[in-house]
Copies of this chain bind each other. A is one copy, B any other.
Amino acid sequence: AAPAPGEELKMVLVVRQDLKMGAGKIASQCAHAATGLYADLLASNRVLLRQWEQFGQAKIVLTCKNQQEMNRIKETAEHRGSGWV
């Protein structure tokens, strides 16, 4: 579902704690995910990308316990109409 025009958008990066990555690995994976998402949106939904940029390109990093919890977060995001990559 598309966000309403003027709605604030955030990029949410979810890190699995069970992968026990160090800070450098987490940072590079988040950078990878962020540029990947940027490239995807550039190709598929430029309106959404511009809207996100207008709100300061907000990014949040969350952690979750494991793949199962990540799947639940993903389902919730999709249910609420948030995008997920």
Taking a contact as CB atoms under 8 Å apart, the answer to whether B59 and A24 are in contact is no
Contact of A15 among B27, B33, B42 (CB under 8 A): B27
Residues of B within 8 A of A33 (CB): 31
Residues of B within 8 A of A34 (CB): 31-32, 34-35
The reply on A13 being an interface residue by CB < 8 A is yes
Query: For the side of the interface on A, what is the size category?
Result: 20 to 34
A:12-46 near B, CB below 8 Å: 13, 15, 23-36, 38-39, 42
Beyond A13-B28, A30-B31, A39-B53: 12 further Cβ-contacts under 8 Å? A13-B31, A15-B24, A15-B27, A27-B31, A27-B61, A28-B59, A28-B61, A31-B31, A35-B38, A35-B57, A38-B39, A42-B42
